[in-house]
Amino acid sequence: MTRPLVVLDALLVNRHPTGVGRAILELTRAMAAGDHGLEFAVMVTEPEMFQDLEEVPHWRVVPCPGARGGTFRKAWFTQTRLPVLCRDLGAELLHSMHFVAPRWPRCRSVVTVCDLAWQLFPETVEQPRRAYYRLFVPSSIERAQAVLGISEATARDVARLYPAAAERVIATPFATPGWIMDHLAAEPDPPPPRQRRFLFVGTLEPRKNLERLLDAFALALETASDGDFPSLLLVGGRGWKDSNLRRRMDTLTTAGVLEVRDYCDQAELGRLYRTSLALLFPSLNEGFGFPILEAMASGLPVLTSDRGATAEVAADAAVLVDPEDTAALASGLLRLAADAPLREKLTLAGPQRARQWSWSRTARETVAVYRRLLTPGPRII
């Protein structure tokens, strides 16, 4: 019996994947770990990132060098070449794993929406990317037979902003990154001593709310009753629209209370998770929030936003604050700095919370969507 062919658009994944790119790798490998009665073809620009799939029965990797390049090069390929590839391969379903699907895919279409920050907080998304999303995401959502949100919060946002697609929106939440679990398994136990240092991990861009975080950090420094208030380490590549942020960073760096690192490899980042005092992640909008679970898996207390996907991921295993209230942020920092029993409670709760998020579950739920769409007869999602 011929197996239906599912094409996975993994063109986003480059040689140094972050965020969603890593998630695509995790989900693809989790799906490849089981036999689902389907054939899979993975469209890629960097075949070496998917070498482990080459030996898996019923999986193949299809190099697409024409999609390599910037955002609009990929857009051209997605709209013009990908439908032709799907036709030539005999695909019955195309899963576009990062926002944008072809307008005319020539087969059933599933699209994953990672967040809607470009609509909800447009000032936090740089213009070329915002224009790209505005041009292609609405039609991708409206034409798809199923729309996957990477968290319950993201799925709700999609259903609210695109009511015509609401019945086709399904939450298939992401999970704890596998690299941190591998790192922890290889680390000695007990962990090394924690330092009096807060940690932030993420791109230095407006959506991460760093200007307000630094203002809250400065306020907490002024308010602290002793001279032992933690320092702050920012780990992340430079983003955009950061002139005001850079001025704040320069002031705090000169004062000796802030350090900035553009990049850390996974081994070093894992060490920072195990030796810092708490992760600060008060983002204005996230589709999911990998740093939260990376920190929790490491037993690192977390402070994050009290709304959307960050609150969903963290639940009651973190300190939740209003990300738009500088005083509330400062209060959360002071609380984490001073309250050792609270930190101990979060250190114990975090790993339990992180274990609740499984890529095997994400894979099962995603494949279940494929099966429903490929089943003859009325397709009720």
Across the range 38-52, mean pLDDT stands at 97
Nearest to 129 by CA among 73, 80, 71: 71
Neighbours of 377 (CB within 10 A): 5
Cα 198 from Cα 180, distance rounded (Å):
19
What domains are defined for the chain?
5-175+358-374 (3.40.50.2000), 178-354 (3.40.50.2000)
- Which segment of 83-92, 247-256, 319-328 scores lowest on mean pLDDT? 247-256
Buried b / exposed e along 302-338 (16+ C-beta atoms within 10 A): bbbbbbbbbbbbbeebbbbbebeebebbbbbbbbbbe
Residue 139 has pLDDT above 70, yes or no: yes
Residue 69 has pLDDT above 90, yes or no: no
**229 SS3 class:** coil
What are the start-end ranges of the E strands in the chain? 5-9, 39-44, 59-63, 93-96, 108-113, 146-149, 169-171, 197-201, 231-235, 258-261, 278-281, 302-305, 319-321
Percent of the chain with pLDDT over 90: 84
Residue 378 has pLDDT above 70, yes or no: no
Indicate the angle between helix axes 243-254 and 210-223, nearest 10 degrees: 30
Determine the pLDDT at residue 338: 95
State residue 215 phi and psi, 5-degree precision. Answer: -65, -40
Determine the pLDDT at residue 308: 96
What's the pLDDT tens digit per position in 284-327? 999 999 999 999 999 999 999 999 999 999 999 999 999 999 99
Nearest to 101 by CA among 128, 135, 131: 135
Determine the pLDDT at residue 377: 61
Determine the pLDDT at residue 205: 87
Determine the pLDDT at residue 380: 45
**Which of the listed ranges 16-20, 65-69, 318-322 does the model predict with the highest average pLDDT?**
318-322
Residue 78 has pLDDT above 70, yes or no: yes
Residue 164 has pLDDT above 90, yes or no: yes
Cα 92 from Cα 114, distance rounded (Å):
24
- Which segment of 164-173, 235-244, 293-302 scores lowest on mean pLDDT? 235-244
Residue 240 has pLDDT above 70, yes or no: no
Neighbours of 52 (CB within 10 A): 13
Residue 40 has pLDDT above 70, yes or no: yes
Tell me how far apart the terminal alpha carbons of the chain are, to the nearest angstrom: 25
pTM (two decimals)? 0.93
- Which segment of 245-254, 350-359, 372-381 scores lowest on mean pLDDT? 372-381
Residue 192 has pLDDT above 90, yes or no: no
**Nearest-10 Cα torsion for 366, 372, 373, 378:** -150
The larger pLDDT score, comparing residue 241 to residue 236, is at 236
Cα 283 from Cα 263, distance rounded (Å):
19
Cα 245 from Cα 328, distance rounded (Å):
20
Determine the pLDDT at residue 237: 80
Does residue 214 contact residue 249 with C-beta atoms inside 8 Å? Answer: yes
Across the range 74-97, mean pLDDT stands at 96
Tell me 106's DSSP state.
S
Buried b / exposed e along 113-132 (16+ C-beta atoms within 10 A): bbbbbbbbbeebbeeeebeb
